[in-house]
């Protein structure tokens, strides 16, 4: 149990990659700080994490878009939870799949506020403590979309390109400290991602994965776990992964 007793903060932990990551870390005996907006689903993940071997779980009802709420949540952590060892910036979403000139401003704002500003707010609240304690690892959830834009996804792709830049900049800013920074950049992952993108339209969401085998949330969680368990002198700067049916954001093979 390589991470036994380590305090791990995971945002967006109520479902998908966040929930799978919580269970993966739980199996390593970590102490989990789970944050999300959906308190009911978060409670279910917390219960499963304890069953999977988590040393302890502390849940936080948190919307990362609220800067003051983020800072308050970190500042008000109980003393025994304050020294965060690993931060997994997982909270994020996509809204809409329209041409840029017909997109909804509300969708753009939600993506920008969550995927960029939320990432910044949580990082700003947590990383100073890591620097003072001279230990820590920040894992940012990126996407292959941050490397190559695809039609009708300009704003989402832009937010993930920004996340990649923030990740690389943070790693540069932390040079000279023992704090590590990693970007995990998956391709298509079958979670509620597409359901959220299409505002609950199950038919549209199902078509996204038709004729191919996408990654699973567990695949991504395994990559995160691998990155944080490298020797302390090793920093995995960026890890990109796709299923065998996807080459990049534009090239996808679908079986007939």
Give, as one character, the DSSP assignment of residue 26. Answer: H
DSSP string for 195-226: HHHTTT-HHHHHHHTTTS--B-HHHHHHHHHH
The answer to whether residue 101 is catalytic is no
* Residue in 101, 121, 150, 156 annotated catalytic: 156
The total number of residues shown for the chain amounts to: 256
Residue 178, token pair as written in the block? 């023992």
Measuring CA to CA, which residue among 154, 71, 60, 141 is closest to residue 107? 154
Specify which residues 186 forms β-bridges with: 241
Look at strands 137-141 and 31-36 and give their pairing: unpaired
Contacts of residue 85, Cβ cutoff 8 Å, sequence gap at least 6: 6, 7, 8, 135, 136, 137
SS3 61: strand
Distance of CA 204 to the CA centre of its chain: 24
- Residue 213, phi then psi, degrees to nearest 5: -105, 105
Q: Dig out the tokens for 187 from the structure.
A: 């391709």
The runs of H, that is alpha helices, within the chain are 16-26, 39-51, 67-75, 105-111, 119-133, 154-173, 193-197, 202-208, 217-228
Catalytic amino acids? 156
């Amino acid at each position: 149990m390589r991470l036994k007793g380590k305090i791990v903060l995971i945002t967006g932990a109520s479902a998908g990659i966040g929930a799978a990551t919580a269970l993966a870390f739980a199996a390593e005996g970590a102490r989990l700080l789970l944050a999300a907006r959906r308190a009911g689903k978060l409670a279910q993940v917390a219960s499963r994490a304890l069953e999977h071997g988590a040393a302890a779980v502390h849940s936080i009802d948190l919307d990362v878009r609220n800067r003051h709420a983020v800072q308050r949540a970190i500042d008000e952590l109980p003393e025994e939870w304050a020294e965060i060892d690993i931060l997994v910036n997982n909270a994020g979403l996509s809204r809409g799949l329209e041409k840029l000139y017909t997109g909804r401003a509300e969708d753009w704002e939600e993506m920008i506020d969550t995927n960029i500003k939320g990432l910044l707010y949580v990082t700003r609240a947590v990383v100073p403590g890591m620097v003072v304690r001279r230990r820590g690892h920040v894992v940012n959830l990126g996407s292959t979309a941050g490397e190559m834009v695809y039609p009708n996804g300009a704003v989402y792709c832009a937010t993930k390109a920004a996340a990649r830049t923030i990740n690389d900049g943070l790693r540069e800013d932390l040079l000279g400290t023992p704090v590590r920074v990693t970007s995990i950049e998956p391709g298509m992952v079958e979670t509620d991602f597409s359901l959220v993108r299409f505002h609950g339209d199950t038919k549209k969401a199902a078509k996204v994965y038709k004729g191919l085998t996408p990654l699973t949330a567990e695949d991504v969680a395994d990559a995160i776990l691998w990155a944080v368990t490298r020797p302390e002198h090793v920093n995995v700067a960026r890890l990109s992964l796709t299923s065998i049916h996807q080459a990049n954001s534009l090239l996808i093979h679908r079986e007939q």
